[in-house]
Amino acid sequence: MNSTELLSALQWRYATKKFDASKKIGAEDWKILEQSLVLSPSSYGLQPWKFIVVQNPEIRSQLKAASWNQTQVTDASHYVVLATKEKITEQDVSDFIQLNSDVRGVPAEKLKGYHDLILADLVNGPRSAIIETWAQRQAYIAMGFIMETAAMMKIDTCPLEGLDPSAYDAILDLKGTGFKTVAAVALGYRHGEDGYAHAKKVRYPTEKVVQYL
Ligand SMILES: Cc1cc2nc3c(=O)[nH]c(=O)nc-3n(C[C@H](O)[C@H](O)[C@H](O)COP(=O)(O)O)c2cc1C
C-alpha cells in the first residue's frame, strides 16, 4: 500500500451507520481482523481484555435494545464486544510473567524485577485505585487497531459507546467473571443508502491539533 492509498483508506473509513445485512466478512479476512485484536499493544503487555464476538442473532437483538436501538448491532456482519478486567491481581501478574517465560524461554526468576515492577504499580501502587479505567484504556487501543486494519482491507466499522455496559454484562453473562463491558465494534459492509458514507470529515485543522516543539 503506498502513501496515497494509505491516506485514502483513512478518508474512506467512517463510522458506518447503516450496514448491508446481506454482506458477510469472509473467513480469511476475519482471521486477520481477529489477529489485529490479539496483536494490539497494552500497558506492560498485560492484555487485560476479552473480545466477545457475538454471532447469535437472538443475543444480538438483545444487545441492540441495550444500545439505543442502533441497527449496526444486528445488521453488521460481525459484532465484537470489548470487555476488560475489573481488577488486576497478583495471580494475573504471575500468569503473565509465566507466559513471558514460556514464550521467550527465559527463566521466571530472571523476570522477577519486571514482575515486582508491575505489582508495585498496578496491584499495590497508586494506579491500583484506577485499575478499571486503566484496563478500559487498553481496550480502546484494540478498538483503534481493528478499525484501522479493517479500513486498510476496505471493510467498514462502527465503534459503539452508545450502549448500556451493565445491561451488556447481564446479557453476555459477564457478571462474576471479573470482566466488564467497555464498548463494541460493528464490522461489515456499508449499505448503499448510508448517507454518512459521503459526508465530509469534520476535523479541526491539523495545525490546531498537532503541535511541534
Ligand atoms: C469511542 C467511540 C464511541 C462511539 N460510539 C458511537 C456510537 O455508539 N454510535 C455511532 O453511530 N457512532 C459512534 N462513534 C462514532 C463517532 O461519532 C465518529 O467516529 C465521529 O463522529 C467521527 O466520524 P468518522 O468516524 O465518521 O470520521 C463512536 C466513536 C468512538 C471513537
What CATH code is carried by the domain that includes residue 177?
3.40.109.10
Ligand 1 near 201 CB (within 6 A): yes
The Cα–Cα gap between 73 and 160 comes to 9
How many domains in the chain? 1
User: What is the domain range of residue 201?
Assistant: 3-209
Ligand 1 near 14 CB (within 6 A): yes
Q: Quote the pTM value.
A: 0.97
pLDDT tens digits for range 114-156: 999 999 999 999 899 999 999 999 999 999 999 999 999 999 9
Cβ atoms of 108 and 151 closer than 8 Å: no
The Cα–Cα gap between 78 and 53 comes to 7
Ligand 1 near 161 CB (within 6 A): yes
Closest C-alpha residue for ligand 1 atom 1: 161
**Best substitution site from 161, 191, 201 to test ligand 1's pocket, by max atoms within 8 Å of Cβ?**
161
Mean pLDDT in each 10-residue stretch from start to end of the chain (213 residues)? Answer: 93 98 98 98 98 98 98 98 97 97 96 97 95 98 98 98 98 97 98 96 98 98
Owner of C-alpha cell 464498548: 183
